[in-house]
Amino acid sequence: MALKCGIVGLPNVGKSTLFNCLSSAKAQAANFPFCTIEPNVGVITVPDERLTRLAELVHPGRIVPATCEIVDIAGLVKGASKGEGLGNKFLGNIRETDAIIHVLRCFADDNVVREGGAPVDPVADKEIIDTELQLKDLETIEGQLPRQQKAAAAGNKEAKVAVSVLEAYKAVLEQGRNAREVSFESKDEQRVAHDLFLLTAKPVLYVCNVDEASAKQGNAMSRKIEEIAAGEGAEALVIAAKTEEDIASLETYEDKQMFLEELGLEESGVNRLIKKAYALLNLETFITAGEMEVKAWTYKRGWKAPQCAGVIHTDFEKGFIRAEVIKYDDYLKYGSEAAVREAGKMGIEGKDYVVQDGDIMHFRFNV
């Protein structure tokens, strides 16, 4: 299960610099709008120290971490919903992602201009992007609503559900709010809502791009965004993208850790961002560990054992018999699968077992 996140923001807020830190692909970073014309895509690994510690015990042939796909989408501008600044193309790229990483400039720099030469204002920048996405969603709603209303009036039950969903979204969007604020109880409504692929229904992580001095504590501008994000029930993260670029350029792990220590940081902002993005979609990891490989597998929080077995192969889910489960801490404590078995700490779980993050799994199946 791949996670695909789109990095969005106004021109010159640090999107491409952040992308360069996240991925080995190098987007052109330049001080003018639309330097990124085509979306840059990078597949990056999800940091997970558990894999390394297990590998020290298992000595596998390889370690296979979970991955995340990051798309650097060119800077949006005011009027993008009406096609301004290649807006339609960029909005289409956002629609294809699972989650949005919204980068906001929270630093002052006379060498990096804000559009129109206006003072730095991350709150206003956020509102511009929100408005453009909301207007595009309204366009989607208004394009479908009359047709569904006509079908509902003729007695079509599915159309009646669609009208209910479309009208609920329309009411919220017309207030300048985001579609993600609306929730639906029935499965029929949830299905209709999902199939609309609304831009503002996607989960969002606000990334406050600050200067190096603010990398640990943030600043007044980033705190405003954090307050707004909390009010929306969204996530916010403080990162100094330029500093992260300097860290990424260092060759050894030791040098990177020394740099982080000097800044008073325990972990790089890039690692924190990837983990936040991963959690944004309620994704978790179960692990398989053997001589061939120690591998992380991605699943949705709340999935049961057969569903997780299907992540490895559809035959595992179809012919599921049971799951043998070792808790990560138990594996570290006893040092091997055999020792865990001997200590009676291996769980034998059936179809109703809800998999937990970090579970080390072995599936028994028959097809």
Sheet holding 40-45, edge to edge: 40-45, 67-72, 3-8, 99-105, 204-209, 235-239
pLDDT (0 to 100) of residue 79 = 59
Q: Tokens 């990891």 label which residue?
A: 285
Averaged confidence pLDDT in the chain: 86
- Encode 141-153 in three state secondary structure: HHHHHHHHHHHHH
* pLDDT tens for each residue of 278-299: 888 889 999 999 999 999 999 9
| Distances in whole angstroms, Cα of residue 27 to Cα of each of 15, 95, 228, 257 | 9, 21, 30, 25
* pLDDT tens for each residue of 83-140: 554 445 667 778 888 899 999 999 887 766 666 667 889 999 999 989 988 998 999 9
Among the listed residues 71, 4, 10, the one whose alpha carbon sits nearest the alpha carbon of residue 209: 10
With cut-offs at 50, 70 and 90, classify the pLDDT of residue 25.
very low
- Which of 34-43, 60-69, 270-279 is least confident? 34-43
pLDDT (0 to 100) of residue 78 = 63
Higher pLDDT, 42 or 259: 259
* pLDDT tens for each residue of 185-229: 999 999 999 999 999 999 999 999 999 899 888 999 999 999 999
Find the mean pLDDT for residues 23-37: 45
Strands 40-45 and 62-64: unpaired
Which secondary-structure segment (H or E) carries 158? helix 157-173
pLDDT (0 to 100) of residue 179 = 94
pLDDT (0 to 100) of residue 28 = 44
**Distance (Å, whole) CA 52 – CA 73:** 33
